[in-house]
């Protein structure tokens, strides 16, 4: 576990080129200087090759340069989402047990900020343990359906994923720009944005905020061909604009990490006149399949080098090694195949993959199969409904956020009764101010957490 791969893959090439914009624009030469400064700080704090560091930093120059500096030392880096509560962050750090923790030097506020201007504080943990695996990166899964898992990636795994992006038809190439809205501490923004861009001479831009105006401004700031990389909720925000400004440099938007609703895809493509592409992947492996032009909907093309098979309706992914660190379900990775817990089908003639949602969204009610995604999509399309999540706990339960104060649970139940068979209807339907989400922006699907949010909403 040495750091030579960082220089070889991400800090190579001519110095003057624009590499990164977060308010100010940094060339590769300037970026190297900031990385060397952070490397010196980490070394002085005692971080050595095969040491362990946890970064709890928001998107910032400090977070990017500290990550690359720690890797350059040859350390294993854990990324802790800065949006976690102090209690959640402390639990994650205790679980990973790093030797140093790097945190912001000021309070971080501003939910829609694209990046933050912050320094960092390095704290040494005398009882922290060095790395006992060859993983250079540890990430925690989103925890949208239950407790998060610790997922490890090796340098080889990250480099292979960077190369997969290069081979995906339509993904940005050298000399272009990527406006990164996806979180750079999670797999899409980290690998598909930051690492891919650094390796392939792509100018990476983090907008000042994730408001529509700020995103438009970031796209319009340079005439180079530009792709927006984000999540479906951000595409939905951009698609709500009545008449966006002319953006001739905008090539496409690519989203991943959650389900892309058909109505959002239609509104976005009509609004901007460019493709809204979709990627399917997981923290354990990165990008698995994609449709960047939207021409294959609802199917996806497997990324180069990816092998999957379908077993009992579940997508199984071929991996050279198990991705989990520490205790985990031993049945999740068996004989080189990872159970994704996603439902899907694979066309034997075309090789195209269709993803049908989480397996826990396929439930049995009185012996009859119900696709919770079907119920969720129906609710989401009803007038006055802003968002919806449907889960199976004590029967089918629906949690709905409405945009019209006149929409009530009784009214929605009556409408659903006219459109769904009785066995598919939610036994309980709760109106919430907003659907609870994980730190990565995914809708929370843990029934107990959703019930707690419903109880809290009643007391407001």
pLDDT tens digits along 168-222: 999 999 999 999 999 998 999 999 999 999 999 999 999 999 999 999 999 999 9
The mean pLDDT of 149-154, rounded to a whole number, is 93
61: left (phi over 0), alpha (psi -120 to 50) or beta: alpha
E strand or H helix at 179: strand 177-180
CATH of 157-359, one of 3.40.50.12780, 3.40.50.1820, 3.40.605.10, 1.10.10.10: 3.40.50.12780
Distance CA 187, CA 277 (A): 17
- Residue 213: name the closest of 109, 118, 112 by CA: 112
pLDDT digits (tens, 9 = 90+) for 228-282: 999 998 999 999 998 899 999 999 999 998 888 888 999 999 999 999 999 999 9
Ranges 177-191, 355-369, 403-417: which has the least confidence: 355-369
The mean pLDDT of 439-455, rounded to a whole number, is 80
pLDDT of residue 144: 46
Burial class (CB in 10 A: 0-12, 13-18, 19+), 203: buried
Tokens of 147: 């407790």
Tokens of 402: 């409405």
pLDDT of residue 145: 46
Calculate the alpha carbon distances from 343 to 13, 275, 359 in Å.
42, 26, 5
CATH number for the region 366-459 comes to: 3.30.300.30
Same fold, 4-152 and 366-459: no
- Residue 64: name the closest of 219, 157, 194, 253 by CA: 194
Mapped onto helix, strand or coil, the DSSP state of residue 266 is helix
With a cut of 90, say whether residue 303 has pLDDT above it.
Answer: yes
Tokens of 4: 């030579």
With a cut of 90, say whether residue 437 has pLDDT above it.
Answer: no
The mean pLDDT of 322-337, rounded to a whole number, is 87
Calculate the alpha carbon distances from 369 to 221, 362, 396, 398 in Å.
51, 7, 12, 17
- Banded pLDDT at 13 (limits 50, 70, 90): low
How is the chain split into domains, by residue range? Answer: 4-152, 157-359, 366-459
355 phi, psi to nearest 5 deg: -105, 125
Residue 185 · residue 206 · CB < 8 Å: no
Burial class (CB in 10 A: 0-12, 13-18, 19+), 455: exposed
The mean pLDDT of 408-426, rounded to a whole number, is 85
Greater confidence, 106 or 458?
A: 106
pLDDT of residue 152: 96
CATH fold label, 4-152:
Rossmann fold (3.40.50)
Residue 154 · residue 222 · CB < 8 Å: no
């Amino acid at each position: 576990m040495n750091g030579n791969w960082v220089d070889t893959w991400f800090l190579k090439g001519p110095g003057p080129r624009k590499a990164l914009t977060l308010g100010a624009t940094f060339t590769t030469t300037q970026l190297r200087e900031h990385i060397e400064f952070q490397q010196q700080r980490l070394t002085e704090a005692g971080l050595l090759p095969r040491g362990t560091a946890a970064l709890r930093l928001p998107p910032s120059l400090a977070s990017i340069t500290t990550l690359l500096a720690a890797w350059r030392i040859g350390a294993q880096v854990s990324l802790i989402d800065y949006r976690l509560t102090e209690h959640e962050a402390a639990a994650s750090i205790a679980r990973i047990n790093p030797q140093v923790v790097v945190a912001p030097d000021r309070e971080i506020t501003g939910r829609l900020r694209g990046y933050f201007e912050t320094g960092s504080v390095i704290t040494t943990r005398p009882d922290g343990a060095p790395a006992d695996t060859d993983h250079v990166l540890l990430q925690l899964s989103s925890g949208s359906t239950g407790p998060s898992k610790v997922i490890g990636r090796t340098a080889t795994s990250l480099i292979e994923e960077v190369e997969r992006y290069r081979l995906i038809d339509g993904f940005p190439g050298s000399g272009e720009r990527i406006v990164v809205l996806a979180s750079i501490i999670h797999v899409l923004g980290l690998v598909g944005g930051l690492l891919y861009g650094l390796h392939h001479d792509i100018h990476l831009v983090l907008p000042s905020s994730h408001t529509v105006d700020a995103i438009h401004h970031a796209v319009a700031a340079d005439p180079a061909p530009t792709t927006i990389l984000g999540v479906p909720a951000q595409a939905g925000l951009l698609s709500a604009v009545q008449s966006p400004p002319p953006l001739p440099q905008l090539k496409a938007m690519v989203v991943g990490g959650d389900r892309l609703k058909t109505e959002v895809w239609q509104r976005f493509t009509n609004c901007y006149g460019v493709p809204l592409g979709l990627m399917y992947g997981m923290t354990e492996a990165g990008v698995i399949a994609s449709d960047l032009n939207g021409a294959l909907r609802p199917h996806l093309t497997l990324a180069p080098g990816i092998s999957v098979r379908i077993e009992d309706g579940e997508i199984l992914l071929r991996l050279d090694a198990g991705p989990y660190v520490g205790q985990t379900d031993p049945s999740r990775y068996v004989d080189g195949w990872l159970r994704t817990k996603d439902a899907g089908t694979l066309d034997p003639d075309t090789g195209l993959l269709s993803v049908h949602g989480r397996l826990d969204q396929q439930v049995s009610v009185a012996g009859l199969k119900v696709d919770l995604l079907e119920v969720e999509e129906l609710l989401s399309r009803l007038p006055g409904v802003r968002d919806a999540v449907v889960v199976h706990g004590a029967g089918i339960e629906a949690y709905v956020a409405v945009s019209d104060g006149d929409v009530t649970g009784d009214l929605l139940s009556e409408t659903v009764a006219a459109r769904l068979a009785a066995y598919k209807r939610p036994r309980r339907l709760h109106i919430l101010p907003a659907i609870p989400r994980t730190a990565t922006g995914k809708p929370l699907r843990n029934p107990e957490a959703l019930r707690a949010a419903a109880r809290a909403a009643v007391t407001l």
